[in-house]
Structure 1
Amino acid sequence: MQNGSRLISLKNGFHLFTRTVGTGAIKLLCVHGGPGGNHEEFENFAAGLQPLGVQVSMYDQLGSFYSDQPDFRQKANQQYLTLDYYLSELEEVRRQLGLKDFYLLGHSWGGLLAQEYALRYGQYLRGLVLMSMIDNIPEYITHINALRQKTFTPAEVSYMQAAEKDQRFTDPKYQQLVQELYRHYVTRHPEQGPRHLVATHASAVYNHFQGDNEFTMTGTLKDWDRRGDLAQITVPTLLTFGDHDTMPLASARRMQATLPHARLVLTPDGGHCHSVDNPSAFFQTLREFLTDVQADVQLEAHHE
């Protein structure tokens, strides 16, 4: 597979940005979070995994910053705002990049897609990495509400709930409270992340699937649940979360016990974007997982 950035043409006529970096026998395909994020969260992965010899591929999903951005207000384009579409898109990217016997890593929304992919296309996978994503949304909703109640006073929680009921998401006080939650539980060290002079987030995609922010799950994914199917994923799986994640760690522990071949590791001082918060700890975890799977080491033992 040739390294570098290139556009691929999908069967639907749209174009996606892809980027492949690093060299080695281990092939890793990364799926970004959001929905509506982009590949940049993975730009340092080849360097972080360099001692192992890993070729890292990444891409921007339809609507995301470097790929085609259709007007989703048009009815003809709304057919693409489905989980099935983004799963089929992932498989088309896999085919065009020529990946087989590869590792699939998904962060957040990308981890949701990765679980769906493993259930439908597991024959292509060597291993699976789920970053900050559990197997259902209802437990996530319960947890983010509990985090908000733990962090704020009852009056502040009530203020946020009233703003959400009235859809006053741009209210300055509401936004201030949201940003405080983000600093605690999403990206604890944002100064280490990518920088742009313009907004890069695909809000239309994010709002459709998620809602206004990480703490208001009102989008179409709110009922997604794969708890009953998780045991069908039999490839070696790494579950990696920040120790201050928005995702409930009790659910992560249940997933580790349910999956036949899984390891759970928590990144210290990490939020939902723990590869940004603490990259040295995160890459150590990922290197150990890849090394052990390549050596066929059993994964049932785990550490936190």
Structure 2
Amino acid sequence: MNRRHFLSSSAALAAAACSSSLPLAAQTNPAASPDSAQTPDALNPGGIRVAGIRMVPVFGGKYKVWTKRMGAGPVKVLLLHGGPGFSHDYLEAMESFLPQAGIEMYYYDQLGCGNSDRPDDPTLWTLPRYLAEVEEVRRGLGLDHFVLYGHSWGGILAIEYALNFPQPLRGLVISNMTAGIQSYLKRTAALKTQLLPPATLTRFNAMEAAKDYDNPEYQRIVMDDLYTKMICRLQPWPEPVTRAFGRANDKIYNQMQGKSEFEVTGNLRDWERWDRLHEIKTKALTLGAAHDEMDPADMQKIASLMPNATSAICPNGSHLAMWDDQATYFHHLLAFLKAV
């Protein structure tokens, strides 16, 4: 008997042995609250309070991904984090606002990220595979008539999901993501010209041309001179943001984006969906920010091209406007979620 089979068998036996002694409240109504006892399956114990955490099988059951439910209410929101290769951690601002508003939210670490399985298999890091994973997670969590929220790379996934799986959607939020890589590159090229002094810009462009991305000087300019102005403008960064950067899976990021924030050389380089936005009929909100690496005008343009969409721009925010323009960001997000 191999270790995985032994562990799954032991968990099943333990669940069966303990079920008869559980209090009645822990055996019934598993969806009553995020911390209520859940029904068992191959990946999750039965009758155990697990703070809303559920492991969901993906890729035909070969791997599992981590999810966590917080709050309870008729509006259910599945959160797609950015990257590619980051984790849910930097979205933890959500739990200070959504549950208190009676909104049920679900964190989800994509495969290869955060608390989920992290296989070393480059064939898995593609947009079509991740799109299929979102639907597997949606089904695994039993979500129907739900709101899909996508931030940054998660916004790409959200657009793709709305185009391919519109039926379960109650609403769609695209946060801080444009609808095509060329628009993104145009914006980041303009920003580095605006934000860097001429001598620094010349040196930075020379290192980009030489693909010298691992140069400590290059990394310093990115983190100190650029990210502090267009990714998160707070000083110091909130701990969940720093934690998310520390947990990032660079192998996924490098394969899908590339080694630079300012050149897309990975398999997302040809992604463009401007010409298909009119097909998304779901009620939608686009959220942007004045100082974001995504052009706020693009966020407004996306909304104008979708039949049932509105847009809101955070005047003091950047890419992580849920942190550096928090009041504005959550004012618009909560208003949409309550009305959807």
Q: 1:27 aligns with which of 63, 76, 82?
A: 76
Check the 8 A contact 1:22/1:47 in 2, yes or no.
Answer: no
Q: Please give the residue correspondences for 1:80-99 in structure 2 after superposition, counting only pairs within 5 Å.
A: 80-99=124-143
Moved more, 24-33 or 185-194: 185-194
Partner of 1:157: 201
Partner of 1:74: none
Partner of 1:181: 226
Check the 8 A contact 2:87/2:244 in 1, yes or no.
Answer: no
Moved more, 22-31 or 208-217: 208-217
Return the alpha-carbon distance in structure 2 between the equivalents of residues 168 and 51 of structure 1. 46
Return the alpha-carbon distance in structure 1 between the equivalents of residues 70 and 93 of structure 2. 9
Partner of 1:235: 282
Moved more, 248-257 or 17-26: 248-257
User: Which is bigger in relative contact order (C-alpha 8 A, separation at least 6)?
Assistant: 1
TM-score (structure 2 length as normaliser): 0.81
For structure 1, list consecutive stretches of 5 or more residues without a partner in the other structure. Answer: 72-76, 294-304
Return the alpha-carbon distance in structure 2 between the equivalents of residues 165 and 214 of structure 1. 13
Moved more, 213-222 or 245-254: 213-222
- Deviation track 1:252-273 (CA, whole Å, cap 9, x = no partner) reads 2221211111111112321111
Q: 2:267 aligns with which of 197, 202, 220?
A: 220
- TM-align CA RMSD: 1.8
Return the alpha-carbon distance in structure 2 between the equivalents of residues 289 and 277 of structure 1. 20
Q: 2:116 aligns with which of 50, 64, 67?
A: 67
TM-score (structure 1 length as normaliser): 0.90
Number of matched pairs: 288
Partner of 1:56: 105
Return the alpha-carbon distance in structure 2 between the equivalents of residues 80 and 197 of structure 1. 21
Return the alpha-carbon distance in structure 2 between the equivalents of residues 53 and 36 of structure 1. 30
Partner of 2:46: none
Q: Taking structure 1 as reference, are residues 29 and 198 closer, same or farther at Cα in structure 2, changes over 3 Å only?
A: closer
Corresponding residue SS for 1:7 = strand
For structure 2, list consecutive stretches of 5 or more residues without a partner in the other structure. Answer: 1-30, 35-51
Q: 2:308 aligns with which of 261, 264, 269?
A: 261
- Report the CA distance between 1:138 and its aligned residue: 0.4
- Deviation track 1:25-81 (CA, whole Å, cap 9, x = no partner) reads 11000000001111122334243023431110121111112111111xxxxx22211
Partner of 1:16: 65
Return the alpha-carbon distance in structure 1 between the equivalents of residues 54 and 100 of structure 2. 26
- Report the CA distance between 1:198 and its aligned residue: 9.1
Q: Please give the residue correspondences for 1:282-297 in structure 2 after superposition, counting only pairs within 5 Å.
A: 282-293=329-340
Return the alpha-carbon distance in structure 1 between the equivalents of residues 153 and 325 of structure 2. 20
Return the alpha-carbon distance in structure 2 between the equivalents of residues 256 and 236 of structure 1. 10
Check the 8 A contact 2:99/2:105 in 1, yes or no.
Answer: no
State the AA in 1 paired with 2:177: M
Identity %: 37
